[in-house]
């Protein structure tokens, strides 16, 4: 079966995020107040062929740990949608 | 009230995604078969202060259209979580 996968990769809490800090600093001058704690990460969408949802999740978890994230500084949040 | 916001920015369908194509091409050689249609985008998390959820959504939608995305080639997917 083919499952749709969304992987959200975010920097771990405590890791400096210059891109997010730059956005946050710029927004008040652009007319947007009240926006705080901006963190910028990556999102990846793809489909994976697997026998069942557990197998799909195991494959995606390994993919994240080995290639899609740097586990030292990044966390991955995996969402798998049934076909 | 303070709302938690997740903005997922993806390239529109049909726009070439070289980063996703590179990941997809590399995976079979790395031992991951059956992964297709890889698309890479950005994810942004932040908090926004607003009177209610509709006001928060309006503010975030304007923020996305004006600064966080390039509406010519990118779509934004906004998720707002109640505090």
Q: Is the pLDDT confidence value at A77 over 90?
A: yes
Hey, is the C-beta of A23 within 8 angstroms of any chain B C-beta? yes
> Does B53 reach chain A within 8 Å, measured CB to CB?
no
Q: What is the pLDDT of residues A31-46, one digit of tens each?
A: 999 999 999 999 999 9
Does the beta-carbon distance from A45 to B35 stay under 8 Å? Answer: no
Q: Does the pLDDT of residue B83 top 90, yes or no?
A: no
Q: How many helices and strands, by DSSP H and E, does chain B display?
A: 2, 3
User: What pTM value is reported for the model?
Assistant: 0.89
Q: In A, which residues are within 8 Å of B33 by CB distance?
A: 49
Residue B37, number of CB atoms within 10 A of its CB? 14
| Chain mean position to CA A59 | 16
Share of residues in chain A with pLDDT > 90 (%): 94
Domains of chain B: 2-81 (3.30.1280.10)
A50–chain B Cβ distance below 8 A for any pair: yes
Complex ipTM tops 0.90: no
Q: What is the CA radius of gyration of chain A?
A: 16
The widest CA-to-CA distance across chain B, in whole angstroms, is 52
Give the minimum alpha-carbon distance from B43 to chain A in angstroms, rounded to a whole number. Answer: 5
Burial environment of residue B33 by CB neighbours within 10 A (0 to 12, 13 to 18, 19 or more): exposed
| B75 reaches A (C-beta below 8 A) | no
Q: ∠ CA(A11), CA(B36), CA(B71), 5° rounding?
A: 60
């Amino acid at each position: 079966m083919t499952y749709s996968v969304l992987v959200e990769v975010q920097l771990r809490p405590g890791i400096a995020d210059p891109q997010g800090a730059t956005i946050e600093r710029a927004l008040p001058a652009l007319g947007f107040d009240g926006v705080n704690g901006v963190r910028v990460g990556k999102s990846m969408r793809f489909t994976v062929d697997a026998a069942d949802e557990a197998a799909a999740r195991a494959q995606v978890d390994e993919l994240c740990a080995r290639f899609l994230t740097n586990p030292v500084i990044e966390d991955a949040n995996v969402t798998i949608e049934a076909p």
